[in-house]
Structure 1
Amino acid sequence: MDDARQRRELFWFLAIAFVVLAAGIGLRAPWPADEPRFALVAKQMWDSGQWLFPHRGHELYADKPPLFFWLIGACYAVVRNWNIAFLLPSLIAAMATLWLTYDLGRRLFSHRAGLWAAIGVLACAQFLYQAKRAQIDPTVVCFITLGVYGIARHVLRGPSHGGPAWRWYWIGCFAAGLGVISKGVGFLALLMLVPYAWMRWRKWDGLAQLGSHNAWRWSAGALAFLAAIALWFAPMVITAMTSGDAEHRAYLHELLFKQTATRYASAWHHTQPFWYFLPIIAGFWMPFALALPWVAPRWRDAWRARDARVWLPLAWAVLVLVFFSASPGKRDMYILPMLPMVALAAGPYLADVVGKRGFRACLVALVVVLGLVFLGAGLFAVLRDPSFEVRIESERGLDPASDALWWLLAACGAAMLAAMAWWRRDALRGSAVALSLLVIVLFSGTAVLLDPENSSRAVMERGRALAGDATLGLVGWKEQNLLQAVGPTEDFGFRQPFDVQFAAGLTWLRMDPAHRRLFVLDEALDKCVDRSKAQPVGTANRRAWWVVDANAVAGCR
């Protein structure tokens, strides 16, 4: 295949991926979970100019290192719109991950293998969902993929890659360090050196010829890894140890111990069994996961052929799976860093697999069933009043008289089925168009319809209307409340128990009752409050809120 055609295919793939991944950006504010927290931390960094120690309200936020928040802030510096900026790091990271997967596949195998590997990543429901959310995972996946990419370019040999490439090895180690200061687990990229050492000892095919007198060059990789971490860690530690601020030292201790070692070894939430990630791969990696039963025999043959180009990335993915499975705390997105390397190992075989009649039948069945589910659920909700319609409309603050959400679901299903009917003789193209339409229409439509409730924007606007010009003191608040607050606000700690927050808020309110009001979560409203004198604000994210003035708390002590 000539270079011009290869460039065209890559261009159209990346263009389609960009449209699918970018659809909906700017149409909504941050939604729980996680998005409002990260956007709020980034906004407070920007407003305060304090970039070393993240804050959530008045409290230091030690759950995550700050690199992701810096990236959101950098995007805001360019676009000057938080509703756009908070999603840009995920979009950029996802596009970079696709390109890295393609380019490594091209170098190790061929252009077509690299393209199919990138398609495999994009054709994964978990990747699509995470790429369209402002969570840290797409960014850390990008850094880990860059780390693995750099190491693989150094130690593997393919038709377009002769190796060794020490600079790429050092870049890979540096990227792993950046992953550490984004979510702590960036070091996983370095695990690729473990199966590499074993394969080199066993003299597998596909490895670059590296001399035996390169100890200082290998050691420089550790320096590059530590240098990336030191970009933030060094000034943060120096400041924490010399500022005399007890909060800074507490932040350092919690970040290094509770949020890393303790969270991994003795997780206090999201506990799951050892085998938890296997059904995640089978279900959340659809439709890419459909190809794995046909790819598995090819991997067996590659093992027998001792092909390191296939098994080095695959062995690394297995190590990542074991690493996260060993921890009692598990969430579905933890294994997302595996995906690019699994797709890379499948890339040389996917062109043949997608031509199999059995695979195409499974793919068509999956897409048609999805289309029928969306169409059927949407029409059923429009024509009848099923319990799921009533529940969802109540939980999401939707007008029961409006069927916009259900028409949207029906339109998604109808568009999918129409695409499959139009391209009935080309299952791959029909499925690609149908799934692309689903992602674009569903994410864009729900962004418009659900944003007032999911972002808490509507309830904060109503709270401000009730409070007038008074300062709102937030009690039992969530990050989206402070992020979407209109006008002056005060908070009394985020992690403090509700009764402690309410007591502090009560003292604060009585200091200037004419110019202050409390904005209180229903569960945090003390029994002493006279609810007949409090003002109900409404609900957001299944939580009810009140505005309370001095008259309503007159009986409180």
Structure 2
Amino acid sequence: MSVFSEATPLERRRFWLLLLIALVVIGAGMGLRDPWPSDEPRFALAAKHMVESGDWLFPHRGSELYSDKPPMLFWLEAASYTVLRNWRFAFLLPSLLAALGCLALVYDLGRRLWNRQVGIYAASALLITFQFVFQTKRAQIDPLVMFYITAANWGLLLHMLKGPNWRAFWFGCFCAGLGVITKGVGVLALLMIVPYLVAAFGQWHGVARMGKGAWWRWALGLVALLLAMALWLVPMLLGAKAHAGDPAYAAYVNDILFHQTAGRYSKSWDHHHNALYYVPIVLFTWLPLSLTYPGMLPRWWRSLKAKDARILLPLGWIVLLLVFFSIPKGKRDVYIMPALPMLALVSAPYLDELLQKRWLRVAGLVFIGIMGAAVLGIGAAALIAHPKFTTEFAIARGFDDGGQALWWMGVTLGAVLFALIATLRVRRAVLAVSCGMAAIWLTLSFWAYPVLNDSSSAAGVMRDVRERLPAGDQIGMVAWKEQNLLMFDHPATDFGFTRPWHEQYAAAMKWQAADPEHRWLFALDGVMANCVDRSKAVSLGHANRREWWMFKADAVVPGCLPSEDVDRVPAAALEE
């Protein structure tokens, strides 16, 4: 059945208007910035290497194989560039399309399980949530994972609540497999089977009955899952076998199939947090949708008591997802983002009633007021009193004028938010919150992006390198970051990325000595130690909270090599 079958012209217009708003809000700023750390430059660099080398099977970070993540996002970024021929648009396009896809899927689930109004509420609730827009305006893997998991949930829910619909079920399993070869966790969509079994054996209302002879159809879901995974795994394994003489490819296979999946989950080596880490994430990064929790919880409870499977399945899946990611020590806010579309779905049936409540409308205005006060206060303080934290921020970013443009942005945005509150008031608080959130995203996109881009992306410092490098000379990179190689956009030599910095420096010395008249080194200040005469080197200033230099062989202290201590820089120096 078509999405628009039996839809009125007004219902069609509402849907397309919602997608248009999403396109404007999420797409705003595309083309105005380059990839920003920490993940965006790494992924864009891998995609760029695919385009330039023709090797789309094994991602690279400079001269090294990159095995932290499967290549799905890199493929899509590279394909986007092949079509658009512009990296500033191409690296963000997969996230934008994933966001629009999630909105369409949530809308369709809402209208199929309830009605079209619920579908609009579900998509709107997702679009207004802070984490959803914040992450989908970035080129990370998580928006894509969220889309594949949502597509998997779409197929599973249609089958389990409106079925039997075996094609939808197999489609859902296939999408879960695509999620696996995107980040490994796509299989978590299949946790939906757990609340389904509870509903089926508990005789819940609205749950589909499959019949006793359907076991082989269920088994085909596993086939669909494995088929999607095989789209990458089989060519990758065959390709690694073809490079059997190179141990780097065997290490790649072992790392990406075992160390980065089961190893990362069972023995998390970074982002350690306690078991309650996700509580503030659910409360604050899911604002303003989380403002509805006090009214939503009793309504969910009544629906569960009434045995409404439409609420049990998505809500039960959210709980299982939260439990799964709360077990390991390693936790990040983006891990639970796939729960957001399902939260919007189970909230949507009650939003029409809740949005009439005065307490909720007042809470929405208070939220916008707090946001307005925060940005207005920081902006005004920076312009008038120059507090230490704003001064340090401006220095770290290399702003010669103290970051005036950013602080005026804060004052302007704060004034806009307060104007919305004063104009629309409690009676039209929903419109005030919606316009307020849109104002925040549009202001950040069109104002902050251009101001912050040079210092955030290394575009400025690498442009300086290109201008200072004489024609025909070569450059090598020591203790570099992904944004440096990406933004240089010229041939460069690297000496490894994961290799210890003191070893990179030693290898770079040998490389430079082979042609000292035409070879320069680009290096992080800390790795140079006392082995470089800074009076003969070229200071490139600050970028990404680091200080960078370039120098020729005449600046090198003969026979001096930095100790292993240069590899153990303070954590603050590594912040992005």
TM-score for both structures, normalised by structure 2: 0.94
Answer yes or no: is the 8 Å Cα contact 2:391–2:402 preserved in 1. Answer: no
* 3-state DSSP of counterpart to 2:199: helix
1:220 corresponds in structure 2 to 220
Answer yes or no: is the 8 Å Cα contact 2:395–2:402 preserved in 1. Answer: no
Q: Which amino acid aligns with 1:97?
A: C
1:150 aligned residue (148, 155, 163): 155
| Equivalent runs, 1:13-92 vs 2, <5 Å | 13-92=18-97
Answer yes or no: is the 8 Å Cα contact 2:462–2:484 preserved in 1. Answer: yes
In the TM superposition, what is the alpha-carbon distance from 1:399 to its structure 2 partner?
2.1
In the TM superposition, what is the alpha-carbon distance from 1:246 to its structure 2 partner?
1.6
Cα distance change, pair 486–141 in 1 and its aligned pair in 2 (3 A): closer
1:315 corresponds in structure 2 to 316
Tell me the distance in 1 between the aligned counterparts of 2:484 and 2:187: 35
Answer yes or no: is the 8 Å Cα contact 2:200–2:209 preserved in 1. Answer: no
Answer yes or no: is the 8 Å Cα contact 1:290–1:362 preserved in 2. Answer: yes
1:160 corresponds in structure 2 to none
- Which is further off, 12-21 or 259-268? 12-21
Tell me the distance in 2 between the aligned counterparts of 1:274 and 1:498: 35
User: Which sections of structure 2, spanning at least 5 residues, go unmatched?
Assistant: 1-5, 561-576
1:433 aligned residue (421, 435, 443): 435
1:440-464 deviations in whole A, cap 9, x for unaligned?
1122211110111111011112122
1:197 corresponds in structure 2 to 197
1:290 corresponds in structure 2 to 291
In the TM superposition, what is the alpha-carbon distance from 1:406 to its structure 2 partner?
0.9
Tell me the distance in 2 between the aligned counterparts of 1:242 and 1:44: 20
2:3 corresponds in structure 1 to none
2:451 aligned residue (449, 452, 471): 449
Tell me the distance in 1 between the aligned counterparts of 2:239 and 2:78: 21
Q: Which amino acid aligns with 1:541?
A: N
User: Which sections of structure 1, spanning at least 5 residues, go unmatched?
Assistant: 158-162
2:480 corresponds in structure 1 to 477
Tell me the distance in 1 between the aligned counterparts of 2:376 and 2:242: 62
Cα distance change, pair 2–475 in 1 and its aligned pair in 2 (3 A): closer
Q: Which amino acid aligns with 1:322?
A: V
2:141 corresponds in structure 1 to 136
| Equivalent runs, 1:87-486 vs 2, <5 Å | 87-157=92-162, 163-244=163-244, 245-400=246-401, 403-424=404-425, 425-469=427-471, 470-486=473-489
In the TM superposition, what is the alpha-carbon distance from 1:402 to its structure 2 partner?
5.6
The alignment yields a C-alpha RMSD, in angstroms, of: 1.3
- Regions of 4+ moved over 4 Å: none
1:31-77 deviations in whole A, cap 9, x for unaligned?
00100000000000111011111000000000000011001011111
* 3-state DSSP of counterpart to 1:505: helix
Answer yes or no: is the 8 Å Cα contact 1:140–1:182 preserved in 2. Answer: yes
Answer yes or no: is the 8 Å Cα contact 2:151–2:175 preserved in 1. Answer: yes
Answer yes or no: is the 8 Å Cα contact 1:529–1:555 preserved in 2. Answer: no
Answer yes or no: is the 8 Å Cα contact 1:471–1:487 preserved in 2. Answer: no
| Identical pairs, percent | 47
Cα distance change, pair 263–105 in 1 and its aligned pair in 2 (3 A): same
1:538 aligned residue (528, 538, 541): 541
1:207-228 deviations in whole A, cap 9, x for unaligned?
1232221122111111111111
Q: Which amino acid aligns with 1:297?
A: P
2:553 corresponds in structure 1 to 550
- Which is further off, 463-472 or 12-21? 463-472
* 3-state DSSP of counterpart to 2:109: helix
Cα distance change, pair 525–541 in 1 and its aligned pair in 2 (3 A): same
1:231-286 deviations in whole A, cap 9, x for unaligned?
11001111212322221111000011110111001101101111110111001100
1:510 aligned residue (513, 517, 527): 513
In the TM superposition, what is the alpha-carbon distance from 1:398 to its structure 2 partner?
1.4
1:84-110 deviations in whole A, cap 9, x for unaligned?
000000000011001111110110011
1:171-211 deviations in whole A, cap 9, x for unaligned?
10010010011111000111111211221111111112322
In the TM superposition, what is the alpha-carbon distance from 1:554 to its structure 2 partner?
4.1
Answer yes or no: is the 8 Å Cα contact 1:417–1:434 preserved in 2. Answer: no
Q: Which amino acid aligns with 1:415?
A: V
In the TM superposition, what is the alpha-carbon distance from 1:6 to its structure 2 partner?
1.2
* 3-state DSSP of counterpart to 1:156: helix
Q: Which amino acid aligns with 2:432?
A: G
Tell me the distance in 1 between the aligned counterparts of 2:533 and 2:403: 35
* 3-state DSSP of counterpart to 2:75: helix
Q: Which amino acid aligns with 1:56?
A: R
In the TM superposition, what is the alpha-carbon distance from 1:421 to its structure 2 partner?
2.1
2:502 corresponds in structure 1 to 499
Tell me the distance in 2 between the aligned counterparts of 1:518 and 1:49: 28
Q: Which amino acid aligns with 2:446?
A: S
Q: Which amino acid aligns with 1:321?
A: L
* 3-state DSSP of counterpart to 2:375: helix
* 3-state DSSP of counterpart to 1:97: helix
In the TM superposition, what is the alpha-carbon distance from 1:384 to its structure 2 partner?
2.7
Tell me the distance in 2 between the aligned counterparts of 1:388 and 1:209: 61
Tell me the distance in 2 between the aligned counterparts of 1:7 and 1:232: 38
* 3-state DSSP of counterpart to 1:517: strand
Tell me the distance in 1 between the aligned counterparts of 2:421 and 2:24: 20
Tell me the distance in 2 between the aligned counterparts of 1:542 and 1:235: 40
* 3-state DSSP of counterpart to 2:539: strand
In the TM superposition, what is the alpha-carbon distance from 1:401 to its structure 2 partner?
5.5
Cα distance change, pair 2–138 in 1 and its aligned pair in 2 (3 A): closer
In the TM superposition, what is the alpha-carbon distance from 1:486 to its structure 2 partner?
4.5
Answer yes or no: is the 8 Å Cα contact 2:110–2:119 preserved in 1. Answer: yes
Q: Which amino acid aligns with 1:544?
A: E
* 3-state DSSP of counterpart to 2:253: helix
Tell me the distance in 2 between the aligned counterparts of 1:47 and 1:2: 47
* 3-state DSSP of counterpart to 1:544: strand
Answer yes or no: is the 8 Å Cα contact 1:409–1:442 preserved in 2. Answer: no
Tell me the distance in 2 between the aligned counterparts of 1:62 and 1:265: 18
How many residues end up aligned between the 2 structures?
A: 552
In the TM superposition, what is the alpha-carbon distance from 1:466 to its structure 2 partner?
2.7
1:312-352 deviations in whole A, cap 9, x for unaligned?
01101111101100111000111000111111111111111
* 3-state DSSP of counterpart to 1:477: coil
